[in-house]
Amino acid sequence: MTHQALITLNDGNQIPQLGLGVWQATNEQAQSAIETALDVGYRSIDTAAIYQNEEGVGHALQQTDIPREDLFITTKLWNDSHLHPEKALEESLKKLQLDYLDLYLIHWPVPKADNYVQAWKGIIELQKQGLIKSIGVCNFHESHLQRLLDETGVIPVINQIELHPLLQQRPLHAWNNTHKIQTESWSPLAQGGEGVFDQKVIRSLADKYGKTPAQIVIRWHLDSGLVVIPKSVTPSRIAENFAVFDFRLDRDELNEIAGLDSGKRLGPNPDTYERV
């Protein structure tokens, strides 16, 4: 197995810097992808209640002989469950066939409904019960994070946000860093690499290092101090995405990729997203 970096979170727990995301995968696809990923060397899996594939994740975890303490399993609280996170967590743990989560995240703040602070308070209590090791959020802006801190005194360990070369969110990333919140990238390849993989700087670096454009982008995330969870259900790509620990980008190369930032958001805006 290729060894990778572990990131220490603000609560002292550690997360593998590179994990597998299973967004838009069926139960069957998720199970197969995770079985492949665990064989390759991945130890971190990221799912969510709304993905409707927690059962598939659970089946894959039941099939492995890797000790539970060597795995890092993340799932997320959906928007319709902000007022009853205990019930939502119970359902997720049942589907995942787990006794505890390594990380539980509020999926979206849904600020119009204004229940995310209540959800956070509920998750804090669930953590105290030993059902969750670490707690965090997804898609929170600075104002949302500040409210959590002001009203509970408990800061998330992670803020998982859309982040890729076209949307680098540097002010939010910096705010997270200042408050010791680890930034984690979703859609790290800009959902298939469109508009990214064909960029001259990415292709030039791929040629220089003998890597694919996807591997260059994943390495950019890692060398930028981000936790990253590229999604794939294709065995060859799952393996390819993990084969990024034998090279590093230098500061000038990171700065070149920084020049690709165009503020292009592919997913919803957290300030206005209301889906339940």
- Positions annotated as catalytic residues are 51
Q: Which residues contact 129 (CB under 8 A, 6 or more apart)?
A: none
Which residues pair with residue 77 across a beta bridge? 106
Q: Which residues contact 159 (CB under 8 A, 6 or more apart)?
A: 136, 137, 138, 140, 145, 172, 176, 181, 182, 183, 184
Return the structure tokens found at 81: 């469950």
Residue with tokens 């680890």: 182
The radius of gyration of the chain's CA atoms, rounded to the nearest angstrom, is 18
CA quadruple 162, 272, 138, 228: dihedral, nearest 10? 0
Helix axes 142-152, 170-178, angle to 10 degrees: 20
Q: What's the one-letter identity of residue 154?
A: V
Distance, CA of 218 to CA of 243 (rounded, Å):
10
Residue with tokens 């743990």: 93
Return the structure tokens found at 87: 């019930």
Are 110 and 271 in contact by the 8 Å Cβ rule? The answer is: no
Q: How do 6-8 and 14-16 pair as beta strands?
A: antiparallel
E strands, the chain, where?
A: 6-8, 14-16, 20-21, 44-46, 72-77, 101-106, 132-138, 158-162, 182-186, 227-228
Of 30, 89, 91, 20, the C-alpha closest to 240 is 20
